[in-house]
Amino acid sequence: MRTFTTILALLGALIMLASGLVKVLSSSFRQDQSELYELAGSAVPSWFFLAVGVFEVLVAVALVVPRTRVLGGLAFVITMAGALAFNLVLASEGADPDPADFAPVNVVLGALGLLITLLWMWVRRSDKKRASSQPAPSTA
């Protein structure tokens, strides 16, 4: 179960890292996103997408490090919930593509983050139970 959860966490980290790096490194991408949401009837400054990108990179790092994986999974869920709300609130019939079209992706990725969090908590709990049931080494 540990290996499976680690693979899921690395997959989530890869997704968040790719998404975050695009937002951080590509000013044209940030500008395109701002224009898309402007078409949807809302003015979202490009620096907002830069801040989201930095946060996504931090989430990716937290998912890779086993000690912070639960925090990373929760941050992943929060990020996707925020993205879902953002896309649904800014949805408009006039925008192409409509931001609401991304809602299913946000839901699936949020579920992945929740799965990572719950499985890693279960793995850590199992490890603690196993460690506490083993006798302490004798110091003779």
- The predicted structure's pLDDT at residue 29: 77
pLDDT in tens, 53-110: 999 999 999 999 999 999 999 999 999 999 898 878 776 555 667 777 888 999 999 9
What is the pTM for the complete model shown?
0.80
- Closest Cα to residue 112, out of 74, 65, 57? 74
Q: How far apart are CA 99 and CA 121, in angstroms?
A: 33
- Closest Cα to residue 8, out of 128, 122, 132, 90? 122
- Ordered by start, the domain boundaries in the chain are 2-123
pLDDT in tens, 14-58: 999 999 998 888 878 777 777 766 655 666 777 888 899 999 999
- The predicted structure's pLDDT at residue 45: 76
